[in-house]
Structure 1
Amino acid sequence: MAIEVRPGTLFEDVRTLVGPKRPDANVCWCLSYRIPSKQNLALRGTARGDLVKELVAQDPPPGVLAYDGDEVVGWAAVHPRADTSFARNRRIPHVDDLDVWSVWCIRVRPGYRGKGISHHLLKGAVELARSYGAPAIEGYPVDNGGSKVDITMAYVGTRKLFEKAGFVKAADTDSVLNGFPRVLMRLNLR
Structure 2
Amino acid sequence: MTGLTTRELTSGTWDDFVGVLGSNGGARGCWCMHWRLSIAEWTDGRGDGNKRAMKSLARRKRAPGVVVYRDSTAVAWCSLGPRDEFPRLVRSPLLKPVDDEDVCAIACVLVARAHRRSGLLPSVLDAVCDYAAARDYPAVEGYPVDPPDGRRAGADTAMTGIASAFREAGFTEIARRRKDRPIMRRVLR
TM-score, normalised relative to structure 1: 0.82
* Separation (CA, whole Å) in 2 of partners of 1:20 and 1:111: 14
Residue 184 of structure 2: aligned partner: 185
Q: 1:133 to 1:3 in 2, by over 3 A?
A: closer
Residue 149 of structure 1: aligned partner: 152
* Separation (CA, whole Å) in 2 of partners of 1:49 and 1:14: 11
Gaps of 5+ in 1: 175-179
Gaps of 5+ in 2: none
* Separation (CA, whole Å) in 2 of partners of 1:160 and 1:189: 19
Aligned counterpart for 1:54 among listed residues 49, 53, 56: 56
Residue 171 of structure 1: aligned partner: 175
Superposed, which structure 2 residues align to 1:97-112 within 5 Å?
Answer: 97-112=100-115
* Separation (CA, whole Å) in 2 of partners of 1:134 and 1:21: 32
Displacement of 1:170: 0.3
Q: 1:146 to 1:119 in 2, by over 3 A?
A: farther
Aligned counterpart for 1:71 among listed residues 56, 70, 73: 73
Deviations 1:32-74 (A, max 9, x none): 0123333222325432221111111223212221223332221
Residue 80 of structure 1: aligned partner: 82
Superposed, which structure 2 residues align to 1:6-155 within 5 Å?
Answer: 6-9=7-10, 10-20=13-23, 27-84=29-86, 85-144=88-147, 147-152=150-155, 153-155=157-159
* Superposition misfits of 4+ residues, deviation over 4 angstroms: none
* Separation (CA, whole Å) in 2 of partners of 1:161 and 1:135: 21
Residue 20 of structure 2 aligns with an amino acid whose one-letter code is L
